[in-house]
Amino acid sequence: MSKTTIIGTTSWGKTLGWLLVNNGTSVKIWARTKAEAEELNRKRNPHDLSFTSDVAEAVAEADSLIWAVPSQSFRQNVRQVKDCLSKATLLISAAKGLELGTGKRMSEVLTEEVPVSFRDNVCVLSGPNLSREVARGLPAFSVVAAKKLQVAKEAQRLLNSPNFNVLISDDIVGVELGGALKNIVALGAGMVDGLELGNNAKAGFIALSWTEVISLSVALGAKKSTLYGVAGLGDLITTCSSPLSRNHHVGCELAKGRCLKEIIASTHEVAEGINTTAAARDLAQKMKLETPIIDIIYKVLFEDLSPAEAFARMTKLKD
């Protein structure tokens, strides 16, 4: 039986665990503390998931590792695990974000941190995957990407199931940037909804923002076609429209007058778009690219620009 270790007890990590168990895979999930692991093991566990806080125990004999953690703790989580790697393990990032300070994608972080012999096994999973829907067994599509298609195919065989349809790609840059940068657009779409400006305004905002995202992504090495696929446009539609989207929720609450710190404190899950906005803005500035909409979203998040004024500025932008 194939063995998979999932790093992180996030809702997405546990959902992926459920998917894999249903595929006949043995799954162990690594928790941050012994107390957390014991509590999760005590709870009713209909999917035969096993939790441990012992890194060596978690990783022992694993054929694949999946990181389902926030992007800002990703590097630390890789460092906690990398010394326990002992064979040609498949390494999968399921995180959607950019690292603050460096602007690096999670596959870049993995490649930097793991031993050289494991670097060809790095791949990423991304797509319109709201964990609550996937956990209910509703049909979904996703994309797994690696520099070598053979590695992506291995991950596809691991993850694919009747209701979780996994496509493959060799455009690891495009798949990651699609998953990360669409969260910035979702923040803005949430603001439009919170301001009750209507679907026409939201559609226009999304279209203009996505054009900006594509330009930035292509400049960073992505294939334009990837941004129009499942891991780009598909993920964008879900994140900008679903009430289950954390980033859309944050944008909506900002438009209703709540401050960002209060919103963050009131939720148990991370809205990746917040830090990704700052990282993407820094990348664009370093590359001397104009990203006016990303700049405006940044000002709402970090410089107290009101969502109403933000939208007014967006309507004045010229081609």
Of the residues 87, 182, 223, 318, which is catalytic?
Answer: 182
Cβ atoms 152, 145 nearer than 8 A: yes
Paired with 164 in beta bridges are 140, 161
Helix or strand holding residue 109 (H, E): helix 106-113
In the numeric block, the tokens 């995180």 are attached to 95
Which is nearest to 204 in space by CA: 184, 185, 230, 217? 185
**Tokens in use for 241?**
């429209």
Tell which residue, 270, 313, 215, 237, has the closest CA to residue 97.
270
Please report, to the nearest 10 degrees, the dihedral formed by the alpha carbons of residues 66, 70, 76, 77 taken in order: -30
Q: In whole angstroms, what is the distance from residue 298 CA to residue 251 CA?
A: 12
Is there a catalytic annotation at residue 104? no
CA distances, 104 to each of 107, 109, 150, 301 (Å):
8, 7, 24, 21
In order of 38, 97, 147, the CA distances from 238 in angstroms are 34, 17, 26
CA distance linking residue 260 with residue 82, whole number of Å: 35
**Catalytic amino acids?**
182
